[in-house]
Amino acid sequence: MIKINKICILINWVREVDMYMNLIKKIPKEKLLILINDLNDKEIERKNNSKEILTAIKKEKLKYKFYSETYNKEKYKVILSTGDSGAKKIDIISVTRFIYSRTIGIILEKSYLSALFLKIFGRPLTADGISSKISRKYYPEKQLGDCVVKYPWSMELNLKEFPDTNWKKNFDIFFTHGVYDSKLIRKKFKDSKILVIGYPRYNNLKKKSFLIKKYKKIFKLKNNKKKIFWIPTHVDIFKEMGTNIINWTDKFEVLKKYYDIIIRPHTKTINHYPEIVSKLRSKGFVVDNKSDRKIGEIFTIADLVFADYGGSVFGSIYLNKPTILLNLPKESKYLSRKEKIKTFDLLVRKKIKSFEVKETNKKILQHCKKLSSKKEENKIKNLKNFYFGKKNVVTPLNEVVNFLIKKLD
């Protein structure tokens, strides 16, 4: 295997280009290589993914290679990855787990013993039951690098499973968003090396006035209304896919009189349900479906943010944006799964106002108007400090780059 004395960044999804770009720009080009993940390109969720990454990387004139041409052939001194490569393998462990899940696991699910075990042991012991797959996820990063850095994906965490116990043997250093995810990692991996880096994608954003002019042209906005940024997550239960958007569109009718509403459906949702873009546009929404968008710019021009689940709510908090959360129906299987593992995006609802779909348009509009108050502004700032810590906790990017360069020979 060829050893290469460079910092390599494994980009697994096109949206990761934006996540890494401010860091990439500070690493000397001769010390950097981008590795494009071209695994599983035939999966619906990864449709055109590697092609779109390639387009974005070429635009920045960066050196790159494909994962498929380097795995087990080259090894880099330092590699950064979010850990979301999608790599899978079938072995004796995965087959044994699959047999267990499709026999005992299904019995536990149907008898509701799984709920009892969840309360007693903190796990349902079903091994995913009917939803299990014969293959299992694995992390290829140790095969790609000597020093492996886990780059933070988002604050979409859960108290039951974060961090993944497999991270300990597959990653050497953990970059984190803030004090809260650092605390959880340190609690599980006591001797772990941690560096708080915040959200580099939101560093050095241009002024709101400049960006409003830019996006008025891009989105062809002809008025001076305030802006709502609606950023729904991907609901990965097939029968519920897109319901977190479609169920709410009529509720936004009254808001359209006062606001331009920019909605950014998740890329995975669009890949499964491409017609949702035209449906939303026909209802008067501004749809942002550019996969490698600098998402911090849309947050910046927003006066209000509407989110539901996933990490977007924490990006909104990080940027001090007034935020409203939209709930799925209580019978939702997606929601039920989140409740079992206690995800952060559910816990934050104790601090941020959330609405059920049955809520009146009038009440939602009234709450939107309240969000511009000083009290709401302070509430978001306090939440930011709670999850991320104060500014001096975050390591400046120049220091992050120096830290990585020192790992090279």
Both tokens of 184, joined, read 């959880």
CA 345 to chain centre: 12
pLDDT of 328 above 70: yes
Strand pairing class (74-81; 88-89): unpaired
Angle at 249 between CA 243 and CA 254, to 5 degrees: 155
Rounded Cα gap, residues 36 and 313, in angstroms: 28
Mean pLDDT of 194-198: 97
Percent of the chain exceeding pLDDT 70 equals: 99
Residue 59 to residue 61: CA distance in whole angstroms: 5
What is the residue extent of each domain of the chain?
Answer: 2-87+138-198+394-405, 92-131, 208-388
Rounded distance, CA 240 to CA 254, Å?
25
* Residues 58-98: tens digit of each pLDDT: 999 999 999 999 999 999 999 999 999 988 889 898 899 99
User: Among 4-8, 110-114, 146-150, 234-238, where is mean pLDDT lowest?
Assistant: 110-114
Helix H or strand E encompassing 246: helix 243-246
Confidence of residue 131 (pLDDT cuts 50, 70, 90): confident
Q: 2-87+138-198+394-405 and 208-388 share one CATH topology?
A: yes
Model confidence pLDDT, tens digit, residues 352-376 = 999 999 999 889 999 998 887 888 8
pLDDT, residue 147, reads 98
Q: Say which residues have a Cβ less than 8 Å from residue 1's Cβ, sequence separation at least 6.
A: 72, 73, 74, 75
pLDDT at 41 over 70: no
Q: At what angle do helices 15-24 and 397-405 cross, to 10 degrees?
A: 80
User: How high is the mean pLDDT of the chain?
Assistant: 93
> What's residue 393's pLDDT?
93
Residues 275-282 have a mean pLDDT of 96
- The CATH code for residues 2-87+138-198+394-405 is 3.40.50.2000
Give per-residue pLDDT as tens, 115-124.
Answer: 888 778 877 8
Q: What superfamily would CATH give domain 208-388?
A: Glycogen Phosphorylase B; (3.40.50.2000)
Structure-token match 């331009």, residue found = 260
Does the pLDDT value for residue 40 go beyond 80? no
Which ranges of 26-125 would DSSP assign to H, the alpha helix?
Answer: 49-59, 67-70, 92-100, 106-111, 113-121
Q: How far apart, in whole angstroms, are the C-alpha atoms of residue 405 and residue 409?
A: 9
**For residues 274 and 262, is the Cβ–Cβ distance under 8 A?**
no
